[in-house]
Amino acid sequence: MTQPNPLQARFDPLYQASRQHTDVPWPLRQQRLQQLARMVREHRHAIADAIHADFGNRSRHETDLLEIFPTLAGIRHALKHGKQWMQPRKVATDWWFWPAHNRILPQPLGVVGIIAPWNYPLFLTTGPLIAALVAGNRALVKTSEHAPAFGQWLAHTVPQYFAADELAIIEGDADVAAAFSALPFDHLLFTGSTAVGRLVMRAAAANLTPVTLELGGKSPTLILDDADLDQAVARVMSGKLVNAGQTCIAPDYVLLPPALQAAFIEKARAWVAQHYPNLAANRDYSHIINPTQLARLQGYLQQAAAAGAEIVPLVPDATNQNAGNSTLLPPHIVCNTPAHSPLMQEEIFGPLLPLVPYQQLDEALEYIRARPRPLALYVFGKAQAQIDHVLRNTVSGGVSVNDTLFHVAQENLPFGGVGASGMGAYHGRTGFDTFSHLKPIFTQAKRNGMGLLAPPYGKTFAAILKILLR
């Protein structure tokens, strides 16, 4: 006897409802967004508790600032603009078709699949979900097995706010994720590593499911010779150490003039001492998600040291800070790291920051261009001409100038990668368009000249063709 497929059982109600109700009016979209906002507001503390449990320690302030706030801000933006986004869009009609006219009608795709990661389990679920809902879709979400407490909370809570044919949650391991990717979604969004993104895309291809892949990579920070170093250090360290570096757009390494390296290290030490005093007992400093990830990061440090790198702890007595089987990892700067070191080859995803000195700006730009295109680029400097030169001569998913991370918080900017750091984008209007079918419609006028182009072809046709082909 064939066992029922639990994934298919969750998918089918969403699929059937999406085919029966292709016209999703604004009041219904609005209601779903409001329900999502109500769920997040009413369970704010439960969300923070669940994420804290998954991490061993995750700053509740960071959860409020980096997950709750952007979720609610994204919903407010969608509620403000969504009705206008879904209106038919007039587009130009070439003169030889006049008086016919063209328009584009946005329609829901149907069912959107979302595979969420563990590092920001709420925001990286709700970000694409907001875009899917404002576009009139239904959604099936796969939570990360590495954030089980949050996944359990979400699976338990969502049915209290949404019908099973509107939004459903799937928990499970990598095998479940593989089967999830193979479902016949109308669009699939994945957030995670480049290696897994390739597997997701391969599985989706069997159904010709379009994908948006938000991946990662090694996002560089470029400090120009005229930069305000105090400002640069403060903003780089802030972006690096929030969530203990477990952020897909965290600064991965810093390119800087050699003369600034020693000062950067000292200023970084001072910044950490000011913002994360008594690190071992500091509830504002998040832990590494699990022992496996901690061992990976510690291995990076050991391999770099063995290859001749200089390991610079940013807190006193860093080696004893994670006593008692804690997954706390103190922040370190790493200097003189060989290019072949895993620390310089793999996305770090932790509080380790290599410094890479450069002599000339073009040398730094070539260093960036020689590597896979990153999800984010950060540049610090004062001269706009120099900053523009950097922007024109590098390719990245997004950029923050004289800051880190904040480009992702702009609802009016698309968020996504390029090359190995991802494909496609969402947030705001871009997210609405990603999860919509933009149906092109040509409407012919009652009186038109198309009959002049029909056979039998004669002098009139020849005269018209001469004009068209000029």
Task: List residues with catalytic annotation.
Answer: 214, 248
Distance, in Å, from the CA atom of 106 to the CA atom of 340, rounded to the nearest integer, reads 48
- Residue pair 87/94 in contact (Cβ under 8 Å)? The answer is no
Give φ, ψ of 321 to 5 degrees: -75, -20
List residues bridging with 115 in a β-sheet.
142, 190
- SS3 state at 267: helix
- SS3 state at 85: helix
Nearest to 80 by CA among 45, 117, 29, 115: 29
Please report which helix (H) or strand (E) contains residue 108, including its range: strand 101-108
* Radius of gyration for the chain, computed over Cα atoms and rounded to the nearest angstrom: 26
- Residue pair 133/139 in contact (Cβ under 8 Å)? The answer is yes
CB atoms within 10 A of CB 325: 8
| Amino acid residing at 342 | P
- The residue with tokens 């680029």 is 377
Strand ranges inside 204-272, DSSP E: 211-214, 220-223, 253-256
Distance, in Å, from the CA atom of 168 to the CA atom of 179, rounded to the nearest integer, reads 16
What is the token pair recorded at 133?
Answer: 């809902």
- SS3 state at 315: coil
CA 468 from chain center: how many Å?
46
What is the token pair recorded at 150?
Answer: 């949050």
